[in-house]
């Protein structure tokens, strides 16, 4: 049975998802375009943006590359 995570973990996930969404919209991309650019499953990408999924490191690297931002800017 999975262990319950502290509330700050959930908040950080939501913050990351908002940051990805904001950067994506600033670049003028839809979710569909970013999904194609990153080769991340559409549902997985939706969950990352919604803050309900723990993204894998490789997914974050691909998202940062597609948005043309350093990884550190994506997760700050």
In a domain, 66, yes or no: yes
pTM (two decimals): 0.90
Counting the structural domains of the chain, the total is 1
Q: Confidence band (pLDDT; 50, 70, 90) for 5?
A: confident
Residue 18, domain CATH: 1.10.260.40
In a domain, 19, yes or no: yes
Q: Which domain holds residue 27?
A: 7-75
> What pLDDT score was predicted for residue 36?
97
Helix, strand, coil shares of the chain as percentages rounded to 5? 70, 0, 30
- CA 51 distance to own-chain centroid: 8
3-state secondary structure of 17: helix
- CA 62 distance to own-chain centroid: 10
With CA atoms as reference, report the closest residue to 60 among 10, 6, 19.
19
In a domain, 2, yes or no: no
pLDDT digits (tens, 9 = 90+) for 43-61: 999 999 999 999 999 999 9
> What pLDDT score was predicted for residue 2?
57
């Amino acid at each position: 049975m999975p262990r319950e995570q502290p509330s700050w973990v959930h908040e950080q996930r939501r913050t990351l998802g908002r940051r990805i969404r904001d950067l994506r919209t600033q670049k003028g991309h839809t979710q569909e375009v970013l999904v194609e650019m990153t080769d991340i499953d559409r549902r997985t990408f939706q969950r990352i943006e919604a803050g309900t999924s723990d993204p894998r490191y490789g997914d974050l690297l691909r998202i940062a590359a597609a948005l043309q931002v350093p990884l550190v800017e994506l997760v700050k």
